[in-house]
């Protein structure tokens, strides 16, 4: 086991952590707190993405009231010696796992529409949550019975620091989207309209910002322009790729000297799309990484985004029930080759199907957000319809969910839902 | 081997086929030419989707000039006894394969932008084609050297006939999109703008219509409203799902008495998205199907679209190079959670990467359209960016395409490209 | 599709075949009937291994009375230009499949103990058979209900001709075993004793010999020393390896000029061990092969036996019920690290388990012989017990055979068993 | 994470452990030290199988001199409430892993022929060892360069206590084998002959016996009849099945009240056969298990040995180089359907092949003992030859070991070998 270079205490708030402070913004000047030589291995620990805001209890109000300005609590930055802009930072994931007796549960939430909303927020506007038991890679939930499986553990978020120029580009393009939305909400494709109106993007804010070990005098000013960690971007970031699991190797573009790598937002399991938004089975965790450099790798590989070689640890599922979707909305409106609309239709069909076995819609939504469903862009040329597929692995269920097995639904309870979604 | 119920002769035009005429429109009144009892197995053969328009030669002009009014040449319709609206038609794919000595090649094309265009038409506006050798499930191409693999054979198109009501709904919603595009081309999300302007949808036309065994007196009128077969819709249709391969079982909604099942557009192999549009490795083929019914299945399963259980015949690939993409266009414009834009970025990165190994952009595009790449909707909630991944299987290449193997590119030739894209 | 170079007519006896005569002995002087250049592809067809002795009916007497002197009916020999002793002959399996409308069934048999016996002949001494429907790769049997799956098609037998020296070595070592058995039957480890006493090896015999296109004057003398095709040997031969399926590449040692390659004994599916002996799901079939040479490959690779790279076409099964076995006989006798005894115990447990679901012992034996069970040499060092495992794929059954699903057994009928095993 | 019920301290000898003493013999009267209700989960820790005899250094003498009377150091026994003879004890493996900062390495050894020997002891009579780094599931060795992979972690040993009757049967049948060997060494099939003569079985001995928490007055007498833990037997025991990895569920026969379950001998990775004997990548580890009962399960399932459902965590390898073997010894002696001889031939070919890439024979042997090779009983009926296959996964190597890649061998060093094998 490599040495722990970033340690967390899940019983303590973010500013009382045993080692360096976590950080939750992207800015080139956040100082590295760890140094690594190329070829070096180390263990990094991270708090859950919300820094402990969501509790192991029967009340979903904490999901409803979550402070998104605080997210995500990241480990790092790590400075990799010799990394220069234009290089690729190679990171191998040798091991990762839960913090065991230091953090015992996982959570999944549906955001309230006022506070982030999500992929199916029109259908599920109220905040809800489910709590999961984590036993190694085995997960199960008292709120969603008759499911137990080994998950595809992964860090939802990992990336390098942007340069100042790149940061400015991010802020510019995202602000343009926000402005466009303000000027004409209906001009934003696929955004839920009506009230409340979830944000189309999250601009910088110093509210809640954790700038790591940055000098407090400078931190405030930096936080006002530092990028939020919600979206993935060309440096990596919050890509939420379930396939970046055990044994993967990923190459990140380097934009600043030393790369300044950060990581966190660990998921015990997630389905393609993370359609619940809050999110996968969220948890605190550790990861063992090995760093290396590909000098001038961005030009050498010809890539603008991270590329990776996925690991080979499964879990393997060979039996699926798969749901098609096309880019016509639930209201019958035809969109042009739109996989977003299509995947929503795939998901809605899957939810209805799961209801036939006795799950509630809310439970079904959490199942799709957490189990390793495969979401494919099957066809993106057959005008005007995109075709997506959503493949639900049969093996995660403790009963047979094959079409052949459909009968009278059993009562399978319900997950906690907030009583007042619009606090 | 079950009895051949629909036979084709690939050396003869569509109106001189040995058995019933193929059909290429969706309309409830196209008569069934085959009857099947529930539980019955049969073999059906189909011409390639264009009815032989694309030749095994070195000139891409046939792709440039393809008559899309003629597509797709389908086998059927099959009437399944007892099928009623609201049922699901269960179809098991027991076997499928090329027609062997009766049809010896496969083709992939890039449409000209004037004639369909495609996913990356802004980058590849000229018609091009590659020709593939098909030896059982093994494919290779003289135009794209150093690739040879066993493909994921599947019918790109399979579905049931719409009811008159459903057909009218299709026509209405698709015409609305066409009207919207005409009124304001820029209002159509993700559609390439500029000249030439590929269609956003294909309205009914009697030009080129094959109405099967319909009475010629009625056929003309029906063809004027019959749906084109280009897009997938809620009855199935042209979904181009590579995972619907050997051993799959699929359930189609039934909208008319007898279901009136049709199938065709066989692919020796295809990548998720079929991003070349014309398309996968296209070929004439046979399929052995077994029909059955789930009475009242649409309500019983709660589904609006087909669902399926994929087969387990692979081909299996465990090693991939995977390319991320986010919903910011190549020009830096931020879109809102748009997997279409994101997948385009994934594809462009993959193409650049393949160029580093010596393929041309056009070859690389055809590689992504034909080999079983996995295209995932990895994240669809992290505002404002969707995250997609495009996983390229290493095993289809006869050399190592790992990042570790990047060196000086070899010259790997080029595919035929039309010299005048705008005939 | 490559050209058919060896064609069979399953309706005609071996000496009236449309092309060259099949051959059923290994001898360096059997003339090649096909020539191949390195890099050349061709299609070869083969009769079923018995040359049509086993019929699609309800009577197992044909299995009981099978003439083993006739087996196996092989396609070839193929002379590969430039092949010399010491080379390796590389053969790629591009495609293979049933002969469709020319051969419609598969068969599995249990040999009578008097006539070959088999792995569990002490437990199943009577001849029995089951008949299988073959629809592409999908197999099912009227004699063994509730099983249907896509099989792992492969040639049970493929090899190169021995040199005269090698042939003499084979004959010598096998005759020594026969002599030892005659001198002291109990000295032969794991051979069933008692009456009738199945042969320990099959010495050359001109009875039933097919020497291909050999001059009749020479054929008789050659047949008296030519090796029978029953066992696998260092040239390949009857290795019955289920994993040598679609897409595999195999390297055979070359012992004579031109290699003189032969192939046949196709199986639609088989389990590890082929424990029924007669055998897998046996059928006539075609295969598309591509030949190449590795000059001086035996020394270069350091191998005495064939090596191969298996294909990647599955079928994939991720769910198994697995049965352990140790090297203590059913009678409680301790053997020393004996995987033969251990695998017999694994198989007997699996048969008892299947009986709990309603199959008869005879049906269960045929299931283990035909479905793609995985038989592993798990431990071969923990004195005095070897440990073997036999993994039964759940996915081939149309009902749940998990331990959790065990209840009252259903009546699942029986397979034809001969009434008088000792004709 | 479930509560730790059996804890070890790898820095302390067996009799100074923090909790209960480990045990290393099978006897019905060894007292349970843990109680479990059906449905209960718990974490158990175990020392490495030798109790720390093999060190992380460059000298193989500790392998040569290992005291096998001490093995294996097991956790338990666990009494499962309500378990009665005839039941099956169901054990689910929820999680397992290395002890991290408490135990940092793994080891593999070749036993000296005088002290256990092993599968290929005639070819490798000298003691040797290799040391492995363990980083989560990722393993690599300074002694065997250019290999790094995620292993198939598993407990080599797990089982229930025998009844007194069963224990007596074990002792009787194993002593008969020992007696037979003493009377006539050559009568023991497949046992290496000559001097030194490794034991055919290990009879009870009180030397080195750890009888857990048994009353010392009784322990001595019990140890004189208690079964050694070396072989697997019908209660489970040392079966060394690599496929019993993460997520597996296994059913053990119960012979005594409470079952008295014990477990240990953890392997970070192992190949089928564990052909090095000492053995896999050996380590101290933890496992999270859940217990349950199938009342009267032995009769209900019809089984004499454990059965299990393997987990689905891979690691997945789709590319293999596979080596055939037949039951003719290296000296040309023909055996009758003997998979032991055949697998030895497969292994010897694989070793020669690996030597062509620059590994020494000793390194190659350790590779086959530790990487997840698949060893199949491919054919066990084609008299007189059994056919085995040994499939070597390409993915564990950091270079290409395909036949196509064979060139000049690199120097890859050597592992420590003892200078005097016969101390």
The pLDDT of residue A101 is: 81
Task: Give the integer Cα–Cα distance in Å for B366 and B363.
Answer: 5
CB burial readout A12-37, b (16+ within 10 A) else e: eebeebeebbbbbbbbbbbebbbebe
H helices present in D289-417, as ranges: 297-301, 339-355, 361-370
Residues C385-395 have a mean pLDDT of: 97
* CA dihedral of residues D211, D212, D213, D215 (deg, nearest 10): 10
Q: Helix, strand, or coil here: B102?
A: helix
Report whether B156 contacts B279 (CB < 8 A). Answer: yes
Establish if D405 touches chain C: CB-CB under 8 angstroms. Answer: no
Report whether D53 contacts D46 (CB < 8 A). Answer: no
Q: Are strands A74-80 and A34-36 parallel, antiparallel or unpaired?
A: parallel
Residues C400-420 have a mean pLDDT of: 91
Q: Which residues are B282's β-sheet partners?
A: B107, B267
The pLDDT of residue A243 is: 97
Residue C410 lies in a domain: no
**B187 lies in the same domain as B78:** yes
The pLDDT of residue C420 is: 58
For the stretch B268-287, pLDDT in tens is 999 999 999 888 999 999 99
Nearest CA in chain D to C272: D378
DSSP state string for D208-219: T--BTT--HHHH
Q: Which two tokens stand for residue B188?
A: 């159509």
- Block residue for tokens 């099939």: D189
**B97 lies in the same domain as B228:** yes
Q: Do A381 and B310 touch (CB under 8 A)?
A: no
Q: Do C277 and D381 touch (CB under 8 A)?
A: yes
Question: Phi and psi at residue A286, in whole multiples of 5°?
Answer: -120, 160
**D131 lies in the same domain as D219:** yes
Domain boundary among A276, A309, A342: A309
Write out chain B residues lying below 8 Å of D400, CB-based.
Answer: 400
Write out chain D residues lying below 8 Å of B399, CB-based.
Answer: none
Establish if D395 touches chain B: CB-CB under 8 angstroms. Answer: yes
Q: Do C395 and A316 touch (CB under 8 A)?
A: no
CB burial readout C23-58, b (16+ within 10 A) else e: bbbbbbbbbbbbebeeebbbbbbbbbbbbbbbeeee
Whether the per-residue pLDDT at A185 is higher than 70: the answer is yes
Task: Give the integer Cα–Cα distance in Å for B130 and B118.
Answer: 16
**Which has the minimum average pLDDT: B190-199, B294-303, C52-61, D120-129?**
B190-199
Angstroms from B3 CA to nearest CA on chain C: 9
Whether the per-residue pLDDT at C421 is higher than 50: the answer is no
| CATH number (domain holding residue D172) | 2.60.120.580
Question: Phi and psi at residue A352, in whole multiples of 5°?
Answer: -60, -40
Task: Give the integer Cα–Cα distance in Å for D365 and D354.
Answer: 9
Residues B181-197 have a mean pLDDT of: 88
Whether the per-residue pLDDT at A421 is higher than 60: the answer is no
**D71 lies in the same domain as D203:** yes
Angstroms from B314 CA to nearest CA on chain D: 11
Interface of D with C in 346-375 (CB under 8 A): 346, 348-349, 352-353, 355-356, 374-375
For the stretch A129-159, pLDDT in tens is 999 999 999 999 999 999 999 999 999 999 9
Sign of the alpha-carbon dihedral angle for C271, C276, C277, C280? negative
For the stretch A335-382, pLDDT in tens is 999 999 999 999 999 999 999 999 999 999 999 999 999 999 999 999
Establish if A199 touches chain D: CB-CB under 8 angstroms. Answer: no
Q: Do A1 and D317 touch (CB under 8 A)?
A: no
Element (H, E) at D411: none
**C203 lies in the same domain as C326:** no
Q: Do C316 and A317 touch (CB under 8 A)?
A: no
Give the list of residues 6+ apart from residue C18 with CB closer than 8 angstroms, or none: C7, C8, C9, C12
Summary mean pLDDT of chain D: 95
**D361 lies in the same domain as D281:** no
Question: Cα B76 to chain center, whole Å?
Answer: 18
Residue C74 lies in a domain: yes
For the stretch A313-337, pLDDT in tens is 999 998 999 999 999 999 999 999 9
Residue A313 has its nearest CB partner, among D94, D288, D315, at D315
**C50 lies in the same domain as C182:** yes
For the stretch C92-149, pLDDT in tens is 999 999 997 888 899 999 998 877 788 999 999 999 999 999 999 999 999 999 999 9
pLDDT band, residue D420 (cuts 50/70/90): low
Whether the per-residue pLDDT at C3 is higher than 90: the answer is yes
Whether the per-residue pLDDT at B45 is higher than 60: the answer is yes
Q: Do B317 and D317 touch (CB under 8 A)?
A: no
Q: Do B395 and D317 touch (CB under 8 A)?
A: no
Sign of the alpha-carbon dihedral angle for A399, D81, C321, C379? positive
Predicted-complex ipTM score: 0.96
Residue A138 has its nearest CB partner, among D95, D134, D137, at D95
Residue B177 has its nearest CB partner, among A189, A334, A343, at A334
Write out chain D residues lying below 8 Å of B372, CB-based.
Answer: none
Residue A218 lies in a domain: yes
Residue C413 lies in a domain: no
| % chain B with pLDDT above 90 | 90
The pLDDT of residue B193 is: 77
For the stretch D58-75, pLDDT in tens is 999 999 999 999 999 999
For the stretch D327-356, pLDDT in tens is 999 999 999 999 999 999 999 999 999 999
Establish if A319 touches chain C: CB-CB under 8 angstroms. Answer: yes
pLDDT band, residue C294 (cuts 50/70/90): very high
Q: Do C137 and B95 touch (CB under 8 A)?
A: yes
Whether the per-residue pLDDT at C221 is higher than 50: the answer is yes
Tally of structural domains, chain D: 2
**C291 lies in the same domain as C351:** no
Residue B1 has its nearest CB partner, among C94, C101, C312, at C101
Write out chain A residues lying below 8 Å of C317, CB-based.
Answer: 318
Q: Do B324 and A232 touch (CB under 8 A)?
A: yes
Task: Give the integer Cα–Cα distance in Å for A416 and A127.
Answer: 9
For the stretch B290-310, pLDDT in tens is 999 999 999 999 998 999 999
**B370 lies in the same domain as B225:** no
The pLDDT of residue C118 is: 86
Residue C380 has its nearest CB partner, among D273, D326, D332, at D273
Whether the per-residue pLDDT at C91 is higher than 90: the answer is yes
Residue B410 lies in a domain: no
Establish if B318 touches chain D: CB-CB under 8 angstroms. Answer: yes
Residue A367 lies in a domain: yes
Angstroms from B397 CA to nearest CA on chain D: 13
Residue A278 lies in a domain: yes
Task: Give one word for A235, left, alpha or beta, with left for phi > 0 and alpha for psi -120 to 50.
Answer: alpha
Residues D210-239 have a mean pLDDT of: 96
The pLDDT of residue A194 is: 75
pLDDT band, residue A420 (cuts 50/70/90): low
**C299 lies in the same domain as C175:** yes
Count of CB atoms within 10 A of residue D142's CB?
A: 12
**A162 lies in the same domain as A272:** yes
Residues B401-419 have a mean pLDDT of: 92
Q: Do C2 and B138 touch (CB under 8 A)?
A: no
Residue A414 lies in a domain: no
**D171 lies in the same domain as D281:** yes
Task: Give the integer Cα–Cα distance in Å for A303 and A235.
Answer: 11
Residues B15-22 have a mean pLDDT of: 88
Domain boundary among B278, B309, B340: B309
User: Which of the listed ranges A10-19, A200-209, D14-23 does the model predict with the highest average pLDDT?
Assistant: A200-209
**What range does the domain containing A390 cover?**
320-405
The pLDDT of residue D196 is: 79
The pLDDT of residue B423 is: 43
- List of chains touching C (3+ CB pairs within 8 A): A, B, D
Q: Do D395 and B318 touch (CB under 8 A)?
A: yes
Q: Which two tokens stand for residue D81?
A: 């409430």
Summary mean pLDDT of chain B: 95
Q: Which residues are C393's β-sheet partners?
A: C320
């Amino acid at each position: 086991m490599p040495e722990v270079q970033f340690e967390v205490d899940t019983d303590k708030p973010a500013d009382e952590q045993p080692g360096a402070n976590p950080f939750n913004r992207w800015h080139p000047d956040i100082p590295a707190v760890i140094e690594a030589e190329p070829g070096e291995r180390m263990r990094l620990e991270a708090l859950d993405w919300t820094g402990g805001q969501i509790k192991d209890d029967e009340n979903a109000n904490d999901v409803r009231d979550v402070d998104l300005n605080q997210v995500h609590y990241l480990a790092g930055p790590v400075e990799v010696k010799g990394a220069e802009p234009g290089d690729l930072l190679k990171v191998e994931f040798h091991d990762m796992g839960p913090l065991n007796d230091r953090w015992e549960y996982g959570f999944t939430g549906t955001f309230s529409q006022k506070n982030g909303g999500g992929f199916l927020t029109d259908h599920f506007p109220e905040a809800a949550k489910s709590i999961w038991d984590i036993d190694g890679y085995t997960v199960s939930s008292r709120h969603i019975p008759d499911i137990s499986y080994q998950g595809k553990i992964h860090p939802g978020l990992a990336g390098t620091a942007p340069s100042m120029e790149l940061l400015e580009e991010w802020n510019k393009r995202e602000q343009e989207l926000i402005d466009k939305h303000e000027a004409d909400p209906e001009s934003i494709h696929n955004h839920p309209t009506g009230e409340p109106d979830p944000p189309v993007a999250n601009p910088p804010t110093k509210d809640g910002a954790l700038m790591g070990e940055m000098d407090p005098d400078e931190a405030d000013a930096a936080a006002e322009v530092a990028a939020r960690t919600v979206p993935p971007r060309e440096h990596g970031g919050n890509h939420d790729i379930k396939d970046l699991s055990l044994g993967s190797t990923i190459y990140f573009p380097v934009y600043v000297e030393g790369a300044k790598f950060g990581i966190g937002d660990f998921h015990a399991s997630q389905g393609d799309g993370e359609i619940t938004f809050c999110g996968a089975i969220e948890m605190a965790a550790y990861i063992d990484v090995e760093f290396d450099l590909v000098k001038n790798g961005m030009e050498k590989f010809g890539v603008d985004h991270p590329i990776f070689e996925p690991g080979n640890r499964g879990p393997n599922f060979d039996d699926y029930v798969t749901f098609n979707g096309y880019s016509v909305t639930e209201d019958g409106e035809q969109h042009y080759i739109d996989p977003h609309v299509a995947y929503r239709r795939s998901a809605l069909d899957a939810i209805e199907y799961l209801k036939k076995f006795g799950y509630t819609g809310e439970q079904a939504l959490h199942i799709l957000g957490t189990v390793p469903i495969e979401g494919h862009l099957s066809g993106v040329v057959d005008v005007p319809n995109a075709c997506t597929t959503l493949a639900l692995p049969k093996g995660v269920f403790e009963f047979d969910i094959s079409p052949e097995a459909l009968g009278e639904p059993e009562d399978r309870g319900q997950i906690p839902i907030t009583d007042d979604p619009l606090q």
